[in-house]
Amino acid sequence: MELHHFSHNIQLWKMNHKCAGRIMRHYIEEQYEDYTFATGSIKYLKQMQMLHAELFRVPMLNWLVWLYRFRSPELVSVALDKEGNLVGYECFMFNDGEVKDNILHGLFVGVTERVQGKGIATALRRFSIKTYDFGNLNALSTVALVDDIKALRSAQKSGYGIEKQSLKPSGHYLVKHLTLGR
Ligand SMILES: CC(C)(COP(=O)(O)OP(=O)(O)OC[C@H]1O[C@@H](n2cnc3c(N)ncnc32)[C@H](O)[C@@H]1OP(=O)(O)O)[C@@H](O)C(=O)NCCC(=O)NCCS
């Protein structure tokens, strides 16, 4: 990896680690049909990496794995089956361009293939919103790539609205405004 990428990733990691530590999140659990939604934990990190690699066909970026090693409770939501296995995840990070506005970015949402199409991604996004609402963040944002209907619909159905088109990556930039609680 080139040196400037490496140092940029270290800066991003530091900034995310610091800002995540200040998030006021509601650490709740919720039942959705046969699944349990919960805020993240390091114990699901390996399963999340495996599911991510399976769904996106590339490993999760190293600096993100290191971030979630420390900050899963603040930045990750998980969906578990009856046996407690991970079947879905949603993970967040702060971007340089959004952090000044107190916006947290939804980076990935993924549901294991055998249980896709049952509304889990939509419900998990709703769960994440609930955990951050009435806290100290202004909004959540996400990008749905132009041809990714499932990502777009699950975001819109959970309450995100398209605010503009994003160029890099090319897609819809969506925002869910939150209510400040404290
Ligand atoms: C995108 C993803 C998370 C959606 O998960 P899911 O649990 O199947 O989503 P939901 O069941 O909540 O469905 C969301 C919407 O997509 C639609 N949908 C689900 N499966 C679909 C399919 N095979 N074809 C077309 N639409 C589909 C649903 O009907 C729903 O919209 P609607 O109710 O308005 O019709 C899942 O497909 C996935 O993990 N994909 C790989 C990773 C990825 O690309 N993530 C998104 C970018 S970060």
Q: What does the chain look like in DSSP terms, one character per residue?
A: --HHHHHHHHHHHHHHHHHHTT------EEEETTEEEEE--GGGHHHHHHHHHHHHSSPPPHHHHHHHHHHHHHHEEEEE-TTS-EEEEEEEE--HHHHTTTEEEEEEEEE-GGGTTSSHHHHHHHHHHHHHTTBT-SEEEEEEETT-HHHHHHHHHHT-EEEEEETTTTEEEEEEE--B--
* Atom of ligand 1 minimally distant from the CA of 125: 12
Whether 55 is in the pocket of ligand 1, judged by its Cβ within 6 Å, is: yes
- Determine the pLDDT at residue 182: 59
- Determine the pLDDT at residue 76: 98
Distance from residue 120's CA to the centre of ligand 1 (Å): 9
Measured CA to CA, the distance from residue 128 to residue 34 in angstroms comes to: 18
* Atom of ligand 1 minimally distant from the CA of 123: 12
- List domains and CATH numbers for the chain: 3-177 (3.40.630.30)
Q: Encoding tokens for residue 28? A: 């709740």
- Determine the pLDDT at residue 166: 86
Whether 122 is in the pocket of ligand 1, judged by its Cβ within 6 Å, is: yes
Kindly tell me the burial class for residue 114, based on how many C-beta atoms sit within 10 Å of its own C-beta (0-12, 13-18, 19 or more). Answer: exposed
pLDDT in tens, the chain (182 residues): 577 788 889 999 999 999 999 999 999 999 999 999 999 999 999 999 999 999 999 999 999 999 999 999 999 999 999 999 999 999 999 999 999 999 999 999 999 999 999 999 999 999 999 999 999 999 999 999 999 999 999 999 999 999 999 888 899 999 999 999 85
For atom 16 of ligand 1, the residue with the nearest CA is: 150
- Residue recorded with tokens 């916006």: 103
| Mutual angle of helices 62-75 and 45-56, in 10-degree steps | 120
Residue type at position 182: R
The reported pTM is: 0.95
* Atom of ligand 1 minimally distant from the CA of 142: 48
- Determine the pLDDT at residue 54: 98
Whether 120 is in the pocket of ligand 1, judged by its Cβ within 6 Å, is: yes
